[in-house]
Amino acid sequence: MEQRTEVASLGEFGLIDRLTKNNEIRNASTIVSVGDDAAVIDHFGRQTVLSTDLLLEGIHFDLSYTPLKHLGYKSVIVNLSDIYAMNATPTQVLVSIGFSNRVSVEALDEFYAGVYAACEEHHVDLVGGDTSSSQKGLIISVTAIGEVAPDKFVQRSGAKDKDLICVSGELGGAFLGLTLLEREKKIFETTGAQPDLEGQSYIVGRILKPQARKDVIADFASSGLQPTSMMDISDGLSSDLLHICKESNVGCVLYEDKLPVNEDARAFAYKLQLDPTACALSGGEDYELLFTIAQEDYDKVKNNPLYSVIGYITPPEEGKHIITRAGNKHALVAQGWNHMKEH
């Protein structure tokens, strides 16, 4: 039988000492880390970028199919993605968790193993956080801190008429992975049959172990590309593009045949009798970067395998549309994931 240590046996400070004993410092900007009342950072004349996320069991994740190590990793990654979406480099994170007495010390060790894996991969320092008991469910709050050269940050509000709309990577995979996991959970609950993930490692990986696009920000820097607007795709392409349109007071045209969909994901969508385009437009949690660029920067992206050019920005009065493969024009609507709606 696996060892189980009750959290109460360590006490709060003993738990924090255990969870942070192997914490490494990677950035010169981290002056004081875990162990004091507050962390101290110095970004040496660069601007500081801050983002925070709250993740709640039963709303944002389901422990019946989310391994704790993956959850720790993803909790950090989704925040780093927000920092990259500002064209900034993440440098520090704070991680706070609330948990009930059903969570053991070993379970928290697993969660933090994922936290540290994400920190190591993205050269980020864990500089603090808090732990608390919770009456039910697991509660995770992560704050990410980053730095950017003065006035090089990119907002959602900078898109201009005739700008090109670009996206990194591929879309819709995370939604399909979640659909598969939810289907298998229902089958298990009703029949007790063991989950069959049908060899779908790509789409399951997209939901359980998303990637934050550090490589894209590095490519912007090396190619001298400064996007006019940007955000990460967490709620779905259509919802997030409409956010950019609203903040920038512009319209847009998307082309269905330009949307990047992974072939494994496309095949699985057809198997489930889902439209791959709908998955790409409305599926959340891809954590790719959606950005606009001036037309004169087209040469910097046109042959780059990191990006797809999927449309262009129009004046606001022309509306927001998608042109289908058949050449029909439809209004672009937000059908992305909204965690405020009733489940």
76 and 51: one domain? yes
35 band by pLDDT with thresholds 50, 70 and 90:
confident
CATH number for the domain that contains residue 290: 3.90.650.10
The closest of 295, 310, 141, 131 to 228, measured between CA atoms, is 295
Express each pLDDT in 223-255 by its tens digit. Answer: 999 999 999 999 999 999 999 999 999 999 999
Beta strands in 234-337 (DSSP E): 251-255, 289-293, 307-314, 320-323, 329-331
195 and 273: one domain? yes
Q: What is the pLDDT of residue 1?
A: 60
39 and 184: one domain? no
| Any domain includes 157 | no
Express each pLDDT in 141-200 by its tens digit. Answer: 999 999 999 989 999 999 999 999 999 999 999 999 999 999 999 999 899 888 888 788
Last residue of a domain, one of 116, 148, 180: 148
Cα–Cα dist 81/145, whole Å: 11
Last residue of a domain, one of 148, 176, 198: 148
Amino acid at 154: V
CATH number for the domain that contains residue 99: 3.30.1330.10
Task: Report the Cα–Cα distance between both ends of the chain, in Å, rounded.
Answer: 36
Q: What residues contact residue 13 under an 8 Å CB cut-off, 6+ apart? A: none
| Any domain includes 27 | yes
Q: What percent of the chain has pLDDT over 70?
A: 97
132 and 175: one domain? no
Q: Tally Cβ neighbours within 10 Å of residue 180.
A: 22
37 and 66: one domain? yes
| Any domain includes 256 | yes
CA distances from 330 to 62, 290, 310 (A): 35, 21, 15
| Any domain includes 127 | yes
340 band by pLDDT with thresholds 50, 70 and 90:
very low
244 and 143: one domain? no
| Any domain includes 238 | yes
Total domains present in the chain: 2
114 and 183: one domain? no
Cα–Cα dist 224/167, whole Å: 17
144 and 189: one domain? no
273 and 136: one domain? no
295 and 189: one domain? yes
| Any domain includes 341 | no
Q: What residues contact residue 50 under an 8 Å CB cut-off, 6+ apart? A: 143, 144, 145, 146
Last residue of a domain, one of 148, 173, 207: 148
**Range name among 12-21, 182-191, 219-228, 289-298 with the lowest pLDDT average:** 12-21
Q: Residue 62 sits in which domain range? A: 7-148
142 and 170: one domain? no
Amino acid at 192: G
Cα–Cα dist 58/343, whole Å: 10
Cα–Cα dist 331/297, whole Å: 28
143 and 177: one domain? no
